[in-house]
Structure 1
């Protein structure tokens, strides 16, 4: 397929990419997002995402990977000048490639478990996209069965989330909903709800995470809402030995997740 060539930053496709990158409203309206970087695009393809447009800068990347092209046979291929690439790229260090992809709905009804003892991570209202990305990266590394985001502050295709997750936003099974909806879902599938909290809590290493388990974390500033605490099967705590009483949410989640994996012998 002969590639279309764009050399003007005023091109309509360039303007479309900038809108998708900068405006969550545009992403929601169109159901599209922008991803950049070879690793991110490879992970998106592995995660079952389809691209409608593949763009690359020949001055940085002489040609597209044939496997990526074959997996997106219906995608429009576009060559862009270095000036255009520098305009649309989110990061200076990406490898001269980006794409427009079709977002998934992340409905709770689409979540599927392949084990009777799933391990899932729940994050309530995470405020910083960088933290969301770090949570998704940890979840991928540990191979958790799903990640739930309750009352999200930003959509999962925010460029900061894609970047900080190193593409793991595409490899995790993600469910998005309200706190009430996610609590109902966890109870429906008989997952034990373990809430990271400061009160009425048990040391996390003394808890049993070998059964169907949900590890629930809140924000560093306010913690979890009362709804979670009222529906918690067990409040858990990571003991602190310094002056502060909390850690970065992604660090806390990593400690809890890998303790659960250790208990499961994985």
Structure 2
């Protein structure tokens, strides 16, 4: 089995670039996944694992081979190398190199009556990760990110989604592209916004539906508000007029699920 003990190894330096640079991920078509559960979910989600690096004092070779699931390259690394690559404080001793997937709107496979979440320009990886976790919990048909601020394989997003990046059907596009896509599929657009809105619980989400949320700071752009079939709002009884975007999305999503009998 191949072993790498130096953090100055050229291959390890290239993996550091994958962690730190969106351009490196884009050019190579690969990214890093840290953690056993995340690797398992990536495999379940159809991601191809190319290589697994592991720390032998935390995992056995047999455990790593079981995690790999098929004959792939497995590399034993030193703690120095692992600490150079590991992104999380809590460590599991294993990192995988995986191939990226296409996230084009045209590649989305939707059923006859889809329920989708659309998030416009989410700024914080933690919020995006929470949105993906909620989407996974509700078993949504797809999550679409309009005007993404970073590539979806950013390690912050991989980490904060706790593997739900791999369990959701995800696509990205510009706001204009996403609106055109939804309209071409005859999907009703419900935009969560403060302006000219109706209480969310008065609407019918039992037909093909997209629930659209914006950033906490500025909300949705005018383009979305103009494109909406209906603008909706979550009534609030306190002093503030907004809440965390992932919390708001969860309220809307599970109302739609309730109406659909789930």
Normalised-by-shorter TM-score class: over 0.9
Distance apart, 1:128 and its partner CA: 0.8
Paired with 1:239 and 1:65, the residues of 2 have a C-alpha distance of 50
Partner deviation per Cα, 1:185-238 (whole Å, 9 max, x = no partner) = 101111100000101111111111111000000001111111111110010101
Q: TM-score, normalised by structure 2?
A: 0.97
Match of residue 146 from structure 1: 142
Q: Within 5 Å, which residues of 2 pair with 1:43-82?
A: 43-63=41-61, 64-71=63-70, 73=71, 75-82=72-79
Post-superposition shift, 1:65? Answer: 3.9
2:39 pairs, out of 27, 38, 41, with: 41
1:113 aligned residue: 110
TM-score by length of 1: 0.96
> Does residue 232 in structure 1 map to residue 228 in structure 2?
yes
Distance in 2 (CA, whole Å) between partners of 1:167 and 1:191 is 28
1:137 aligns with 2:133: yes
Using the TM superposition, give the Cα deviation of residue 53 of structure 1 relative to its aligned residue in structure 2, in angstroms. 1.1
- 1:86 maps to which of 67, 71, 83: 83
Contact in 1 for aligned 2:54/2:64 (Cα 8 Å): no
User: Which residue is 1:32 aligned to?
Assistant: 30
1:6 aligns with 2:4: yes
- Give how far 1:87 is off: 1.4
Instruction: Report what 1:265 is aligned to.
Output: 261
* 1:214 counterpart = 2:217: no
Structure 1 position 241, deviation (Å): 1.2
CA contact (8 A) 2:36 2:67 kept: no
Match in the other structure for 1:205:
201
1:186 alignment partner, SS class: helix
What is the Cα deviation at residue 251 of structure 1?
0.7
2:13 matched to 1:15? Answer: yes
The answer as to whether partners of 1:59 and 1:81 remain within 8 angstroms in 2 is no
Query: Unmatched 5+ residue regions in structure 2?
Result: none
1:33–1:100 contact (8 Å) kept in structure 2:
yes
Separation in 2, partners of 1:66, 1:197: 49
Query: What's the Cα RMSD here?
Result: 1.0
Residues 83-138 of structure 1 show CA distances to partners (whole Å, capped at 9, x for unaligned) of 21111100131311111111011001100113x21000000011111111111111
SS of equivalent residue, structure 1 residue 219:
coil
Query: How many correspondences in the alignment?
Result: 261
CA contact 1:192–1:214 (8 Å) conserved in 2: yes
CA distance in 2, matches of 1:9, 1:242: 53
Tell me, in whole angstroms, the C-alpha distance in 2 between the residues paired with 1:5 and 1:249: 44
Query: Post-superposition shift, 1:163?
Result: 0.7
